[in-house]
Structure 1
Amino acid sequence: MEAKKEVVNVNPKAIIHQRFGDKAHYNIEEIQEFSSNGCPGLVIPQKGPCLYRCCLQLPDLSVVSDVFKRKKDAMHNAAEKALEKLSDPPVKNPSDQLVSRLSYLFSNEFYAICHPLSGHFRASLHREGDLNGFVPVSIMPFYDSKISNLCKSIKPEVELKPLDVTSIIMEASARLSDTVFCSKELLSLKRVTPYPPEVLQLVEVSCEKGTHVKVIRVPYMVDKSVDSLTLDVSSNKYYMDAIAQQLGVPDASRVLLSRGIGKASSETRLYFCAPKSHELDVISGNESYDLFHEDVSSCTYYRLLLNKVPRGIYKLSREAIFAAELPLKFGTRSNWRGMFPRDILSTFCRQHHLPEPVFSNTTTAKTTPGSEESFKSEVKIFSKDRNLIFHCYPQESYKKQSDAIQHSSLKVLSWLNDFLNTDGDTINGNKGDLVFYPEHISKDLLVQIKGNYEKMLGFDGGNQDKMLEYRIEGVESEITPSNGCLVCVGYCVWLVSGEEREIIEKNEEFEFELGSEAVIPDLEAVVGGMSVGQSGCFRTELPPRELIFAANGDSERISVLLSSGNCSLEYTTTLLRVTEPLEDRMEKALFNPSLSKQRVQYAVQQIKDSSATFLVDFGCGSGSLLDSLLDYPTSLERIIGVDISVKALARAAKTLHSKLSNNSSVPIKSSCIKSALLLDGSITTFDSRLYGCDIGTCLEVIEHMSEDQATLFGHIVLSSFLPKLLIVSTPNYEYNVILQKSTPQSQEEEEDKNPTKPCKFRNFDHKFEWTREQFQVWASEIAKKHNYGVEFSGVGGVEGVEPGFASQIAVFKRVCELPEGGELKDVPYDVVWDWRRSNE
C-alpha cells in the first residue's frame, strides 16, 4: 500500500524556460527497444509500447535523455540533465569532479529537481535544533550514483570498505568551506548561506496528520525473533531520524544503509548502526524519496530471503511457496509455468550483484540431408572483477537456439540447488558438464548463498521415507491424468494444531505437468491417483518457520499456533481439468483406438504367440504398459520394470500394487502373475535379474535418449541381457506431417509453422525421431552383430501405404540358445518395489 506526501516540485522544464526561453528546443525521437537476448552479437527487437528519447538543444549545450515510455518524462529528464551540466562544469580529475558534484548538490537548482537525494536535502530543513539543514554523508553515495562512482574512481577499495566513502566525501567538502559546512562530529554537511525564499517555499508542508509506515527489526542474534514496528515518517519530519531513534543512536548521521534489495521499482534497504561499538542491531524498511513509501512486514522480509536462491525465485514467480518446485527439465511454453530458467538465472545474478550471465551459442552441423540445424549453448557467470565463477557447457543440442539457452541455464540452476543442500566444506569443483571455481567467488557471497536461505528452503514436502497417507473423495470419472499430462488443480495449505487451523497458502487454479517434478512429491503422487472432479487430502510434517512466514503475512496468528506445538501442514486439493500431451492429442485425433493402446495390443499378441512367462519392460516409466498388460489374459507369471526415475517407479508401484492386490475396482485378467519387481537403474547397464527373459519391451523410449545412448542400449540388451524376443518401437518421423495436420495448432505452434521447414518432433523431450530407413539401418546393424534376427512392423496406418506406420516397430528374435554360465550375479539396480503373490 502506498501513501503519497504532499511535496511541491519545480518543473526542470520551467527552470530551463526561465533561463533560455525560446532558445531551448526539445526534439522527441521515437525508438524501437532492442535486446541482446544475452547473446553477443545478437540483437532482437522487443514487442511492447512505444519508447521515446528527447534531445534538448541549448545555445551552448546539447543533452540526450534516457529512454522513457512517455514523451513528457523524456523531456523532463533532458531538462534535468541540462541543469546538472550547467551547474557542474566538466573537469577531468575525479577528486575535482567530486568537489564540483558536491557544489551542485548544495545549489539552488538541485533543490528544484526531482532526484532521490534532493528529497533528503529538503527534509533536512525540517530537522530540529542544531541538526537543521544537516544532510548525513552516509546516505549520499546510495542515492547519487555519480558520487558513488567518483568515490570508487578515487579509491577503488571502497567497493569492499564502504565506510571509507564517508572520509572521501568529507575531505572533498572541506574544499568548499565557503559554501558547505562540514561537521566531523555529526558526519554531516550543511549549506553555509541560507536558501532564497523561492527554494524555502518548496519545503513548506502541511502538518494535518502524520504518516506511518510498517517496518521490521531483524536482530543481529539469529535466535531472536523478527519484530514489527511502526515509524512516524510524516512529511514535516526526517524519516532517517525516526530510524535512528528506533536503533538507539543520537541521529541519522549514525545510521548506515545497505544496497537496495528487491526490485528496482520498489527498493527495500537495511538500515543499521554505524559500527562504533560493533553492535549491529538491524532494522529493515523501505527508503523513500519523500514521494512514496511502502509497508514492510516479516512476510516481505522472508520473501526477500526466499528470492535469493533459484528455487525461491521460481516459487515466488509461481506464487506457490509450498506447492511449486523448480522442474528438472525445461519444456515449451505449453508445459513450463513460472519464470523461465534464463530469467531466474539473471535474477539470481542481480540479487547477488554479479554481472549478467554470458551465453555463447554454437550451431551443429546437419547430420542428414534435409535435416535442420541444431544449437548448443554455453553459459558463463563472472564475478564483479570479471573472474570466471561458473562455466556450463552442455553437450545436448536443440532445434531452437532459445531452447538451448534455457536448458543450459537450468543446468546451472540445478547445480546451485544441489550446492545449497550440501555442506559448504564439500564444494565440488566439477560436475559433469559444469565447472565451478570457488576461489573466484567472494566469501561474503558464499555466506549469503549458503546462509539463512538454506534452512528456509530445506522443506521437501514431508519425510519421504514415510508412506504417504492420504484420502481421495468424490465420484471417479473417466478422465484421469498420466505422466506428461498438464493438470490444473485448486489447492489449499493449512497450518493445523489440534482443533485450530489457519490458511497458509491458497491457489484457485494451479497448473503443472505431471511427472516433471514441478511440485512437491506428495502433491504429485496424490493428484496422479485422482480423476477430474475428485478431491484429495494429506498431511506433511512442519517445514521451517521462515517458509511459513514467507507465505503468510499474519505472523501474530501463525506464531500463536506454532508456539502451541504439535503442528503440521494439511493439503487439500481438487483436480479441475487434465490436458493430455500434444503427442497424445494428435494420436487420439487420428486413431481409434489410440496408438498407445495399439502398441499394447501388439505386445499382447507377441506374448500370446510366444507363450512368454517372463517379461521385462525397459524404460517402464510410471508403468503404463505393465498396467495395461494386466487388463489382458496372458501367460505372464513374472514381470519386471526398470527406469531411472524413482518417482515414476513409485507411481507405477502404487498402480500395480492396487491391481495385483485386488484392491482395484477393475479385476485383472492376467491372473497368472506370481511376482512383480520395479528396479531403479539405467537400461544401458547390465543387471543379471533381467537376464534371459522371454520377452523384452522398449516402447517409445529410445527417442528420449541421445542417438549414441540408444545405440549403446541396443548393443547392451542384445549382448548381455539376451532376451528371447525384444520389441522396440519409436515414432516414424515421416508420419508427423499427417499427425500435425490432424489437430489444431496452438499459438506457439502457429508461430513456428512454415511449410518449407521439416516437421516438428512429437514431444519436446524427444532427442531424435528416425525415418523408416534410419530405424531399419540401426536395428539391422545391431541385430547382425549380436546374432539376432529382426523383422519390422508397426501400428497406426496401413502397411505398404505411404508414409508407413505412425509407430514403427522392430522385433528382434534370438537365433541361438542362451550360453551356459552366462547368468552373472551382477545386480547394480536398486529395488523400488517387490511384490510376490505368496506374500500378498
Structure 2
Amino acid sequence: DKASPEMRFYFPAPDVQFVSDLSKQLVDDRGDRNMNCVINKRASYISGQTIYGDAVLANVGYTRRDTELQTDHVNLCTYYRILLRKLPDGIYKISKDSILVAELPCVYTRTSWKGPSPRDLLCSFCRLQRLSEPHFAANGVSASCNVLVGSEEMGSPKATAGNQCANDGRIAKENPDMFKCSVKIYSKKRELLLEYSTDYSWSKETDAIQNSALKVLIWFNRYFKQLNTPVEKFYLPKSTDGFTIYPNIFLQEFAMCLSVYGKTSGGDSRTCNAVGYFSMDTSYQQLESSAFLTDIDGQDSGVFPSHGSLACISYSVHLFMKDSRTRYLLEVNNEFEFEIGAGAVRNQLESCATQLSVNQSACFVDQLSDRDLSLAAADSCVLEFSVKVLQVTEPLEDRMEKALFNPPLSKQRVEFAVRHINQLHATTLVNITFILVPYLQVLACHY
C-alpha cells in the first residue's frame, strides 16, 4: 500500500525584517544577493507563494496508521510532471497516461471525448495558475429569435438581448434551440485578462460550454508554445477569432510563469533551460505529418481507421541513440483510444495508424521535439514508436457527415432543392412535384 502523498517545499526562512524594508519590485525581480534572499522562481511558481533561496521538494508520507505504508520518492521525473500539470494540455496528457503521444484535441464531441471534460480542464488550469474560476455565460436563442435567454454562472448579471439574434436569424429559424457561450478569465484579484465570445451556435447548452472552454484551452496552449513571440505581435486588443486580451493584466499574472518557462524580463529567454524550460515548438510536426513505416507485421484485415472513427491502439516509445544503438523505454500504453482527425495525438502517430488495418503493427522514427520532456540533449537521439491497431469503431453516420461536410449533406440537399424551386419560379404543387420527382430519382439512384 502507498500512503497519501503530501508534497512539501523545505527552505530557509529569510530575515523578514530586512526583506520587508526592500522595494517589493526589486525583491520580485532579483531579491537581495547580499542577504541570500534571491527569489526561487521555480519553487515559487510551483507552490504559489514566494520562496527565497534554495528549496528541497519532498514527498512526505505518514506511518501513524500502518508502518507498512510507502510513498514514492521525488525525482526529476516528478518535477517535470508537476510542471507539465500546470500547462494547458498537461492535465489532459497525464489523465490519458500518454505524455509523448496524446495532444489536446481541436474538436469536442460528447461520444468520443475521453478523460476530463474541456470545462474541467480549463478550471483546473486556472486553479493551478492561481487564477479565479473561469466564468461561463451560456445564452440560448429562442425559436422566434426575439429573445436571448441568458444562463450564466457565478452569479453574474444576465446578458442583454441586443442585436445578437440578428446575426443568427437564419440559424435560429432552422434550429430553434441553439446556444452560444462566452468565457471570461479573471486574475486572482478579479481583474479581466482574457475574454472569448463566438457567433457559432450549438444545439445543446453543454456542447456550447465545452466547445468554448476547449477554444480557450487551445488559445492558452498556443500561447505557451510561442513564449518567445514579441509581445507587440502576439497581443492584439481585439482579435478576429473571438478573443480579447488585456496585455497588462495578462503579463502581470503570468510573469512568474514566463520566467520559469523561458521568457524573462532581461531578454534572455533561455536562462531556465537546464531544468525548467519545455521546448514545445511543434512547427516541424505540421511539415512532417506523414510517418514512414517499417517492420509492418500482421495480415491485412481490410478494416482501416477513417476520419471520425475511434481507433484503439497499443504503442511503445523508445529513446533511440543512433551512435551507440542503445534504446531506452520512455512510455508504453497497452490500450489507447483516440478519434481520427480530431488532433488528439501527434501527427506522425495518426498517420501511422491510418496506414494500418486492425491487428497490424509497425514502427516509425520521429525527431526528438520534446527534448526536455524526455530529459535528453544529444542531437543523435530520435524517438522510435511501435504501434499496433487493436480495434476500429466506425463513426455514426451523422457524426461522419458533420466531420466531412460543412454544412451537412442533408442540409445541402434541402438547400439545393429550395434554390432549384426558386430558380424555376414554381408556385403550385404540380410544378413543385414535377421539379422534385427527377431530383429524388437521381438521389435514389446515387445512394
Q: With structure 1 as the length reference, what TM-score do the two structures score?
A: 0.39
Q: Which residue of 2 aligns with 1:526?
A: 352
Q: Which residue of 2 aligns with 1:418?
A: 222
Aligned CA distance change for structure 1 residues 398 and 323 (closer, same or farther; 3 Å)? same
- Per-residue CA deviation, residues 232-252 of structure 1 (Å, 9 max, x unaligned), is xxxxxxxxxxxxxxxxx99xx
2:136 to 352, 355, 359: 359
Aligned CA distance change for structure 1 residues 485 and 544 (closer, same or farther; 3 Å)? closer
CA contact (8 A) 1:257 1:269 kept: no
> Which residue identity does 1:548 align to in structure 2?
S
- The higher radius of gyration belongs to 1
Aligned CA distance change for structure 1 residues 526 and 365 (closer, same or farther; 3 Å)? same
SS at match of 1:448: helix
Mapping for residues 137-148 of structure 1, pairs under 5 Å: none
Q: Which residue of 1 aligns with 2:81?
A: 303
Matched, 1:776 2:417: yes
Aligned CA distance change for structure 1 residues 573 and 137 (closer, same or farther; 3 Å)? closer
| Separation in structure 1 between the aligned mates of residue 441 and residue 317 of structure 2, nearest angstrom | 48
Q: Which residue of 1 aligns with 2:319?
A: 495
- Per-residue CA deviation, residues 717-772 of structure 1 (Å, 9 max, x unaligned), is xxxxxxxxxxxxx22xxxxxxxxxxxxxxxxxxxxxxxxxxxxxxxxxxxxx5795
Q: Deviation at 1:452? A: 2.0
2:292 to 469, 472, 490: 469
Matched, 1:448 2:257: yes
SS at match of 2:365: strand
Q: Deviation at 1:782? A: 6.8
Q: Deviation at 1:574? A: 0.2
Q: Which residue of 2 aligns with 1:323?
A: 101
Aligned CA distance change for structure 1 residues 316 and 372 (closer, same or farther; 3 Å)? same
Mapping for residues 109-258 of structure 1, pairs under 5 Å: none
2:190 to 353, 361, 386: 386
| Separation in structure 2 between the aligned mates of residue 783 and residue 504 of structure 1, nearest angstrom | 66
Q: Which residue of 2 aligns with 1:703?
A: 407
| Separation in structure 1 between the aligned mates of residue 352 and residue 173 of structure 2, nearest angstrom | 47
> Which residue identity does 2:248 align to in structure 1?
E
| Separation in structure 2 between the aligned mates of residue 270 and residue 285 of structure 1, nearest angstrom | 17
| Separation in structure 2 between the aligned mates of residue 782 and residue 441 of structure 1, nearest angstrom | 54
> Which residue identity does 2:181 align to in structure 1?
S
Q: Deviation at 1:346? A: 0.7
Q: Which residue of 1 aligns with 2:385?
A: 571
- Per-residue CA deviation, residues 384-430 of structure 1 (Å, 9 max, x unaligned), is 22211111111111111111001111111111122223314222323
SS at match of 2:331: strand
| Separation in structure 1 between the aligned mates of residue 139 and residue 284 of structure 2, nearest angstrom | 42
CA contact (8 A) 2:45 2:260 kept: no
| Separation in structure 2 between the aligned mates of residue 457 and residue 400 of structure 1, nearest angstrom | 38
2:56 to 272, 275, 283: 283
- Per-residue CA deviation, residues 470-497 of structure 1 (Å, 9 max, x unaligned), is 2233211121111111000000000111
Aligned CA distance change for structure 1 residues 351 and 573 (closer, same or farther; 3 Å)? same
SS at match of 1:543: coil
Q: Deviation at 1:460? A: 3.5
CA contact (8 A) 1:486 1:511 kept: yes
SS at match of 2:119: helix
Across the aligned residues of Structure 1 and Structure 2, the Cα RMSD in angstroms comes to: 4.5
Q: Deviation at 1:324? A: 0.7
> Which residue identity does 2:345 align to in structure 1?
V
> Which residue identity does 2:221 align to in structure 1?
N
1:348 to 107, 125, 134: 125
| Separation in structure 1 between the aligned mates of residue 93 and residue 120 of structure 2, nearest angstrom | 13
Aligned CA distance change for structure 1 residues 396 and 369 (closer, same or farther; 3 Å)? closer
| Separation in structure 1 between the aligned mates of residue 372 and residue 91 of structure 2, nearest angstrom | 15
Q: Deviation at 1:469? A: 2.1
Q: Which residue of 2 aligns with 1:482?
A: 306
Q: Which residue of 1 aligns with 2:333?
A: 507
> Which residue identity does 1:776 align to in structure 2?
A
Q: Which residue of 2 aligns with 1:407?
A: 211
SS at match of 2:203: coil
- Per-residue CA deviation, residues 774-824 of structure 1 (Å, 9 max, x unaligned), is 65224544788xxxx99622688x79xxxxx9x7xxxxxxxxxxxxxxxxx
| Separation in structure 2 between the aligned mates of residue 256 and residue 522 of structure 1, nearest angstrom | 35
SS at match of 2:372: helix
Aligned CA distance change for structure 1 residues 414 and 538 (closer, same or farther; 3 Å)? same
CA contact (8 A) 2:178 2:204 kept: yes
- Per-residue CA deviation, residues 682-722 of structure 1 (Å, 9 max, x unaligned), is xxxxxxxxxxxxxxxxxx72425xxxxxxxxxxxxxxxxxx
Matched, 1:337 2:161: no
> Which residue identity does 2:129 align to in structure 1?
H
Q: Which residue of 1 aligns with 2:92?
A: 314
CA contact (8 A) 1:479 1:531 kept: yes
CA contact (8 A) 2:178 2:202 kept: yes
Aligned CA distance change for structure 1 residues 449 and 307 (closer, same or farther; 3 Å)? farther
Aligned CA distance change for structure 1 residues 783 and 509 (closer, same or farther; 3 Å)? farther
SS at match of 2:222: helix
> Which residue identity does 1:311 align to in structure 2?
D
| Count of residues in correspondence between the two structures | 369
- Per-residue CA deviation, residues 530-556 of structure 1 (Å, 9 max, x unaligned), is 11011121001123432114xxxxxxx
| Separation in structure 1 between the aligned mates of residue 43 and residue 423 of structure 2, nearest angstrom | 64
Q: Deviation at 1:301? A: 0.5
Give structure 2 stretches of 5+ with no counterpart.
Answer: 65-69, 145-171, 264-276, 426-434
Percent pairwise identity: 31
Aligned CA distance change for structure 1 residues 523 and 495 (closer, same or farther; 3 Å)? same
| Separation in structure 1 between the aligned mates of residue 174 and residue 254 of structure 2, nearest angstrom | 49
| Separation in structure 1 between the aligned mates of residue 103 and residue 262 of structure 2, nearest angstrom | 16
CA contact (8 A) 2:3 2:61 kept: no
SS at match of 1:356: coil
CA contact (8 A) 1:383 1:389 kept: yes
Aligned CA distance change for structure 1 residues 370 and 395 (closer, same or farther; 3 Å)? closer
CA contact (8 A) 2:44 2:50 kept: no
CA contact (8 A) 2:285 2:348 kept: no
Mapping for residues 769-808 of structure 1, pairs under 5 Å: 769=411, 772=414, 776-781=417-422, 792-793=439-440
CA contact (8 A) 1:492 1:571 kept: yes
Q: Deviation at 1:369? A: 7.7
SS at match of 1:532: coil
> Which residue identity does 1:281 align to in structure 2?
D
Mapping for residues 672-711 of structure 1, pairs under 5 Å: 701-704=405-408
2:280 to 458, 461, 466: 458
| Separation in structure 2 between the aligned mates of residue 400 and residue 584 of structure 1, nearest angstrom | 16
Give structure 1 stretches of 5+ with no counterpart.
Answer: 5-115, 121-135, 141-154, 165-219, 221-248, 262-267, 275-279, 550-558, 588-595, 597-618, 622-699, 705-729, 732-768, 800-804, 808-840
Q: Deviation at 1:374? A: 1.4
- Per-residue CA deviation, residues 59-107 of structure 1 (Å, 9 max, x unaligned), is xxxxxxxxxxxxxxxxxxxxxxxxxxxxxxxxxxxxxxxxxxxxxxxxx
| Separation in structure 1 between the aligned mates of residue 286 and residue 219 of structure 2, nearest angstrom | 22
CA contact (8 A) 2:303 2:358 kept: yes
> Which residue identity does 1:395 align to in structure 2?
D
Mapping for residues 647-726 of structure 1, pairs under 5 Å: 701-704=405-408
| Separation in structure 2 between the aligned mates of residue 257 and residue 411 of structure 1, nearest angstrom | 28
Deviates more, 1:512-521 or 1:575-584: 575-584
